[in-house]
Each structure stands twice: as structure tokens, then as C-alpha cells.
Amino acid sequence: MGIARNIARLIPNGSGLLPNANIEALAASKLTGQVPDANAPSGSVIQVVSATKTDVFSLASLTFTDVTGLVLSITPISASSKILVMASVSIGSSGDFAYTRLTKNSNPINVGDAASNRPRVAGSVVYTASNGAYNCETIQMTHLDSPATTSTLTYAAQIRSGSSPFTIYVNRTDADRDTAHYEPRLASSITLMEIAA
């Protein structure tokens, strides 16, 4: 009778799976292979894509524009996944201030609420007359997105000038003097992480 009962416990259920209740003990050494991405525990990182920009980008416009090299795509494995977007943008300016933000499929994300004519941005850098030409600020932007799709998504970091179309730069200062102690060259980056829900 005991043998028949033990054999019955090895018979899969209607879904072709062995019921959890029929598994009394399983040695850790028997657990091999990889958990399918779609079955990863909540909070697990399913995939990561990243890009680093080390060259210079410049813009003189009051219109938000993608920063070349800081545009990245990801195709979620599961529609329930979240996408963690992290971007670091180093900005210099010849004018008074500059703005930056993130977009998903060209639509702004992680920006402030609408308030009359005020620009909706994720980050702002102010430059003064005394140090503006020699200064470069790094803005960090982080957003946890819930796209609810398995279609390819494109995220980007964008910049624009402030009150006037002054020239703004990514990864360099305005003055950009060739010295060993001042006017640094910097790096910017964008990283996308698919997180299991």
C-alpha cells in the first residue's frame, strides 16, 4: 500500500505539474538550471541595457531634444514588469540655466505637474555670471515606469536651453579651456532595468 501511495504522489496533476503538496523534501543540490524570466520572483532584475556617452553634444534651442548617445531601447519580457530608468547627464551652459528630462517613446515622464506656463522638467541647472562658463553640473534622473507592454520601448534623456536659446553642452563646460586643472570633460549615461513585478 505504501508503494502505491508513493507512486501516486509522482503523478502530475491536470496541468502536467507535480503538486507542491506531493514534494516532502528536495535537496538544494538537486536545484539546477535557471528560473524562466517570466517566473522570476518579484523585484528580480530580468534584464539590463545601458549606454555611456563620453563625447560632447551641444544644443541651442528652447525645444527639448534627445541627447545623441543617451537614447536606449528595451523589450520587456513580461507585461507586468516595471522598467527602472536611470540617467546621469553632465551639462554646461553659455547662458543662465538649462533643463533636462526623460521621455518614453518621445513622451515626457517623471516631470513636474503642469502649472500655467512653467516648464515641466526633471532637472534644472542654474549658471551665474561669475562661474557659468567654467561650470558643469551632473543631473541624476531616476524613474520607475510601469509600461504594461511587451512591445519595444525607447527611453531618452533630453535637454533644452532656459529663457533664451543659449548654447548648452553635454560632457563639457562652455569655456572648455585646454588646461590640466580646469574645464573637465565628463561622461553621461542611461541605464534601463526590467524588474519583475
Low pLDDT (below 70) residues in the chain = 1-12, 14-16, 18, 20-26, 28-38, 128-131
User: Which residues on neighbouring strands pair with residue 47, listed in sequence order?
Assistant: 194
**For the chain, first and last CA: distance in Å?**
44
Q: Say what the pLDDT of residue 24 is.
A: 67
Written as one letter, the residue type at 122 is: A
Written as one letter, the residue type at 156 is: A
Say if pTM beats, i.e. exceeds, 0.85: no
Task: List pLDDT tens digits, range 122-178.
Answer: 999 887 666 678 888 999 999 999 999 999 999 999 999 988 888 999 999 988 889
Q: List, in order of start, the domains of the chain with CATH numbers.
A: 37-195 (2.60.120.1340)
Q: Where are the beta strands (DSSP E) in 94-187?
A: 97-104, 107-109, 123-126, 137-145, 153-161, 168-170
Count CB atoms within 10 A of the CB of residue 171: 23
Q: Say what the pLDDT of residue 122 is.
A: 94
